[in-house]
């Protein structure tokens, strides 16, 4: 069903009545909102404000370039697409080019938008833009001072194994699937 087919949203729409900032960090702000439901009832919503991010499916020959980094929130190192947060008002395509170069050292001759979507709209307004980067040329990575990254190219079969084993995240799964490179693998 397209957006046009559901143009009447009055029965779903929540109306903001009040907002209070409960946390403000260097990247995120958490708001506690009071909203009025369509039937007049009131409820609270917690909302994470995030400037948005990009992820890049960088294809090098027959493989996809992934980065592995420690993710404190899950207490593990995951293999992921090169990705990063947009600077305020930065065009997502520029963010994608910057992040690919910073995290991997690669630049790309050809860029294709794979689309965008909300990461977790139940509590966050973060939108992620996904790009396909092809025709890679090597260079020197310049990761942020607080980032420690491994960079490796994986075949499609090896990526499917990472997915089956839970060694990656959903942005990586989505990006690689949108690029047409994800094939189901038997769970190991």
Quick one: pLDDT at residue 3?
58
CA atoms within 13 A on the CB side of 146: 2
Q: What is the pLDDT of residue 11?
A: 93
* pLDDT at 88 (0 to 100): 86
Domain residue extents for the chain:
8-49, 53-178
Q: Which residues contact 164 (CB under 8 A, 6 or more apart)?
A: 185, 186, 187, 188
pLDDT at 118: 97
Query: How confident is the prediction along the chain (188 residues), in pLDDT tens digits per residue?
Result: 555 655 789 999 999 999 999 999 988 999 999 999 999 999 999 999 999 999 999 999 889 999 999 999 999 999 999 999 999 899 999 999 999 999 999 999 999 999 999 999 999 999 999 999 999 999 888 888 888 999 999 999 999 999 999 999 999 999 999 999 987 765 54
pLDDT at 50: 93
pLDDT of residue 49: 93
CA separation for the pair 105, 64 (Å, rounded): 14
Mapping DSSP to helix (H, G, I), strand (E, B) and coil, where does residue 178 land?
A: helix
Backbone angles phi, psi at 95, to 5 degrees: -60, -45
The single residue listed with the structure tokens 């294809």 is 59
CATH number of this structure's domain 53-178: 3.90.79.10
* pTM as predicted: 0.90
């Amino acid at each position: 069903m397209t957006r046009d087919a559901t143009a009447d949203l009055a029965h779903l729409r929540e109306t903001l009545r009040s907002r209070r900032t409960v946390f403000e960090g260097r990247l995120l702000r958490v708001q506690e909102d009071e909203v009025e439901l369509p039937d007049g009832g009131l409820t609270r919503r917690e909302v994470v404000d995030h400037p948005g991010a990009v992820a890049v499916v960088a294809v090098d020959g027959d493989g996809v370039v992934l980065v592995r980094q420690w993710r404190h929130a899950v207490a593990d190192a995951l293999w992921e697409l090169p990705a990063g947060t947009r600077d305020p008002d930065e065009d997502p395509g520029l963010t994608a080019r910057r992040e690919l170069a910073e995290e991997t050292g690669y630049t790309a001759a050809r860029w294709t938008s794979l689309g965008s979507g909300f990461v977790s709209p139940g509590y966050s307004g973060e939108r992620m833009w996904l790009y396909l980067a092809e025709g890679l040329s090597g260079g020197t990575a310049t990761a942020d001072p607080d980032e420690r990254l491994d960079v490796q190219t994986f075949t499609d079969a090896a990526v499917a194994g990472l997915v089956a084993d839970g060694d990656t995240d959903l942005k990586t799964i989505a990006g690689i699937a949108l690029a047409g490179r994800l094939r189901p693998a038997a769970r190991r």
